[in-house]
Amino acid sequence: MSNSLEGKIAVVTGGSTGIGLGIAKRFVSEGATVVITGRRQAELDAAVAEIGPKASAFRADVAVLADLDALYAEVERTHGRIDVVVANAGGGSLAKLGEITEEHFDSTFAINVKGVLFTVQKALPLMRNGGSVIVTGSTTSIMGTEAFSVYSGTKAAIRNFVRSWILDLKGRNIRVNVLSPGPIDTPALRGVAEQAEGLIDYLTSQVPLGRIGDADETGKVAVFLASDASSFVNGAELFVDGGMAQV
């Protein structure tokens, strides 16, 4: 343990499972105090028990702006500031062009785009100058993926958010970067795989390292982006994909 995040206050949306949980656990192991969000109280309670006493949970849907307001009011009351925001909450399901419904489109963009935008914007009054914002992207932001165009479009959108936000935040020294995982062994990936037989094996075959990733591997990269080790990294997209999107 290097304690590279000692004393920092971090908010991780979608922190009860998968990549968000991996990030939250790593942050705490490096000395941070972490507030996680999610939509299901039972999963939040289990996650806090797993992460330990330096974690707390707040039930919130990032697509509901009143929930975000309540979250940040609680963070201000209990911690007074935010050093790191990880806009991680997101999700998607498969639908080919010709089969995409309005509900599918609206729900995916509400969580992955609207939710990310307002997670970051509403955090700004509490963010200390010199803080770090990490947005969870995806290799799909730069790749074509069959039956996954709506999800992929959301990740391309937030990739450009980050390019533009670093200009909007000039003068505050708040760094904003994208952490873009490839296939990571999470409940979300397993859920998508249930819709597409053989998906895990296919994804494994596409990764030059010959395996899918582990949530802790995204957590270690998030620690880098949250810490002073990345003090001159800004507006970047850092892929944690075993090389999948690079070949």
Active-site residue set: 151
CA separation, residue 238 to residues 42, 151, 178 (Å): 32, 19, 6
Residues in the chain: 247
Written in H, E and C, the secondary structure of 135-153 is: EECCHHHCCCCCCCHHHHH
Place of tokens 């050093």: 83
Amino acid at 125: P
CB burial class (10 A; 0-12, 13-18, 19+) of residue 154? buried
Amino acid at 47: A
Phi, psi of 31 (to 5 degrees): 105, -5
CA separation, residue 189 to residues 43, 106, 128, 222, 229 (Å): 17, 21, 34, 19, 30
Cα gap 136→90, rounded to integer Å: 8
Cα gap 135→234, rounded to integer Å: 12
User: Residue 131 region, left (φ>0) first, then alpha (ψ -120 to 50), else beta?
Assistant: beta
Cα gap 84→32, rounded to integer Å: 9
